[in-house]
Amino acid sequence: MNQLKTVILLGGLSLLLVGVGALMGGANNIMLFGAIAVGINFFSYFYSHKIVLRINKAHPVQPHEAPELHAMVQEVAQRAGIPKPAVYIMDDDSPNAFATGRNPKHGVVAVTRGIMRILSPRELKGVIAHEMARGGHSRISRPLKFKVGEVVVRFTRSAARHTQKNRSTVCTLFENKRLAA
């Protein structure tokens, strides 16, 4: 359900962006804003996990640096039947954890030093399992992604044609009136 909400949100924001282009006038603006919307969605899909990690100042941790944490993540991933995600630590005293990634192959689990200090190993494993189960490693189906992209592109083309057609009609009427005067 969260995947569908994300697709609807990104699709809606894309259509809103194209609508702003239409309000600014001209087929070129609609095409430009449509291209910007496609670019934003592409960037969001492939790089959002890196942005989240950077915002939270998370850094990758190697198995020899945190063997217990890596063992927990490996066990949870095995039980879930997914590849082991990359493991990151945030140098923060507040208890927090999250999982992100566009699919299981590109999954990431991040925890703060605070949560590692406060929780027992069993509790921390439960938090990691919860975060991984929440959809941090789920996939948005390809057909659904491509359908949203197709709708945005079709809307952009249609709006550009409609704007161009209306502009031509207005220009023709204006020229006819000017010639008649």
Active site residues: 131
Residue found under tokens 């990634």: 101
Question: Residue 160 to residues 42, 110, 155, 157, 172: CA-CA distances in angstroms?
Answer: 22, 44, 8, 5, 18
What lies within 8 Å, CB to CB, of 32 at 6+ separation is 21
Q: Kindly state the helix (H) or strand (E) to which residue 77 belongs, with its residue range.
A: helix 67-80
